């Protein structure tokens, strides 16, 4: 994969290690802990991303101490494929079985890229996952996702944990509402909910308690740790303790950007994941009041997720681990809240593919910086390797972002995404989407029209240039 940033890889590694030795405490330069926080369905709807009405103080504080990436894009607008890219640093399967397919190939003796936790484990780290880190919460297969003979990521974790509590099993936890309610027929489960009670009445509350126990256990050992914690909300259904929605009940929300359904051919869909829940006979595309209720409950779930992030950071500080821990907060993809008349993910529009990425590493020279360069999820694995002083696996498709950390700004690059029968490339100006039959969408982000007008016919040279990027990175055609 000969990307521009890829050609910086050798220089990046050398610059990062040398600069890291100059700026990081000696113990960090040798063995930094890693805390990877994966948040489900989190669009950049946060205070630190300029959304003033959204209450996310803990994530905002993390951004104030680290680097916030303004243009981070995931590889796929669906959980399993996006997490495959994060956890392997490679472009790969485009559906939710991507990691299980990798596990099957590994069992069959076929070559597979190393996973990020297996790489850190091989290099002396204790690796632990809690919650939804891979596609299945807890990381196991089987009908209820708790069959210990079917690991989603073999040889990766010393411990992989999902306390299901009253939700009985990981499958029940995944789509649970308050006090153990499990999704059966989605038509009978409310699309949003807010019930009085502590954080533990919803699934994230009990998994975060386990994550806090793990931080304490790991802090008592001499080996560095790689702890990955998956936070479920704001995944559907939108349920959070009632106190998190109170700040949003009376506020005026900004208008939904470009809410009209596209009239040209796109990756638009009918929001089936959202529409299958009980909506009390209401449609947010035709009912502005209901649309705002949905948006308020989404915001409440974001604030609930933010509170869980705060607990993790506080525990690191309490145990004296903060100054020796690299923290990454990553959203597994975006989510439409009515843009293009979509309520969900699963498109190749900006709203599905852009997600938060915040990296906070001890000793960073420039804290609280906003990074404008286009980056992608496959870059996170090599970045963490370099920050921790580990070699970068040859198989990764991403490139380390460490030069950016040390003010060595890299040339503009592109982010690749794919889903079903189309693939996309985003650079600093354009998004190109190529369908399997050759049909092209091109959107100009320097234009006020953005992704509401297909300008492919007006920029044939850019279409050709970006199609060539897709060929080189994905090997298509």
Catalytic residue among 58, 71, 72, 135: 135
Q: Which residues contact 133 (CB under 8 A, 6 or more apart)?
A: 36, 38, 83, 87, 139, 160, 228, 229, 230
Instruction: Residue count of the chain, please give it.
Output: 477
Structure tokens at 18: 């040398």
- Whether the CB-CB separation of 229 and 213 falls below 8 Å is answered with no
Catalytic residue among 15, 38, 48, 79: 79
Short-list 213, 205, 271, 211, CA closest to 243: 205
Helix, strand or coil, per DSSP, at residue 228: strand
DSSP assignments along 27-45, one per residue: HHHH--EEEEEEETT--S-
Task: Compute how many other C-beta atoms are within 10 angstroms of the C-beta atom of residue 257.
Answer: 13
Helix, strand or coil, per DSSP, at residue 343: strand
| CB neighbour class for 436 (10 Å; exposed up to 12, middle 13-18, buried from 19) | exposed
CA atoms within 13 A on the CB side of 110: 7
Q: Residue 455: what are its φ and ψ, rounded to 5°?
A: -110, 25
* Known catalytic residue at 79: yes
85/212 Cα distance (integer angstroms): 26
Which regions of 198-337 does DSSP assign to beta strands (E)? Answer: 225-231, 238-241, 325-331, 336-337
Structure tokens at 433: 């989407």
* Known catalytic residue at 135: yes
Beta bridge partners of 195: 241
List, by residue number, the catalytic residues. Answer: 79, 135
């Amino acid at each position: 994969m000969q990307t521009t940033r890829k050609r910086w890889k050798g220089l990046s590694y050398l610059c990062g290690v040398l600069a890291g030795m100059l700026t990081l405490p000696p113990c960090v330069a040798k063995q930094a802990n890693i805390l990877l926080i994966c948040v489900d369905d989190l669009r950049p709807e946060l205070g630190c991303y300029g959304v003033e009405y959204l209450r996310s103080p803990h994530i905002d504080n993390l951004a104030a101490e680290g680097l916030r990436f303004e243009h981070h894009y995931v590889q796929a607008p669906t959980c399993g494929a996006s997490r495959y890219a994060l956890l392997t640093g490679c472009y790969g399967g485009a559906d939710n079985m991507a990691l299980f397919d990798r596990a099957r190939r590994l069992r069959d003796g076929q070559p597979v890229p190393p996973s990020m936790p297996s790489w850190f484990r091989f290099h002396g780290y204790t690796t632990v996952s809690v919650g939804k880190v891979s596609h299945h919460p807890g990381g196991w297969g089987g009908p209820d996702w708790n069959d210990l003979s079917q690991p989603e990521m073999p040889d990766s974790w010393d411990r992989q944990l999902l306390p299901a509590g009253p939700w009985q099993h990981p499958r029940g936890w995944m789509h649970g509402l308050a006090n153990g309610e499990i999704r059966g027929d989605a038509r009978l489960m409310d699309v949003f909910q807010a019930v009085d009670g502590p954080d533990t009445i919803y699934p994230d509350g009990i998994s975060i308690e386990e994550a806090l126990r793990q931080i304490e256990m790991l802090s008592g050992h001499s080996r560095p740790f790689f702890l990955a914690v998956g936070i479920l909300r704001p995944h559907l259904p939108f349920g959070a303790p009632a106190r998190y929605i109170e700040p949003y009940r009376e506020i005026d929300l900004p208008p939904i950007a470009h809410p009209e359904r596209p009239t040209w051919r796109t990756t638009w869909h009918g929001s089936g994941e959202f529409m299958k829940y009980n909506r009390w006979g209401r449609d947010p595309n035709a009912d502005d009041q209901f649309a705002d209720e949905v948006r308020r409950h989404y915001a409440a779930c974001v604030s609930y997720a933010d509170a869980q992030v705060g607990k993790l950071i506080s525990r690191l500080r309490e145990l004296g681990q903060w100054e020796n821990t690299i923290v990454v907060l990553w959203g597994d993809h975006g989510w439409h809240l009515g843009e293009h008349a979509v309520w969900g993910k699963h498109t190749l529009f900006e709203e599905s593919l852009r997600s938060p990425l915040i990296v906070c590493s001890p000793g960073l020279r420039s804290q609280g910086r906003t990074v404008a360069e286009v980056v992608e999820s496959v870059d996170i694995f090599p970045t963490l390797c370099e920050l921790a002083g580990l070699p970068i696996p040859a198989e990764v498709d991403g490139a380390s972002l460490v030069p950016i950390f040390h003010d060595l700004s890299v040339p503009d690059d592109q982010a690749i995404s794919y889903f079903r029968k189309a693939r996309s490339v985003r650079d600093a100006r354009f998004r190109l989407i190529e369908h399997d039959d050759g049909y092209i969408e091109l959107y100009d982000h320097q234009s006020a029209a953005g992704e509401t007008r297909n300008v492919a016919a007006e920029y044939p040279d850019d279409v050709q240039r970006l199609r060539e990027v897709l060929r080189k990175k994905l090997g298509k055609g």
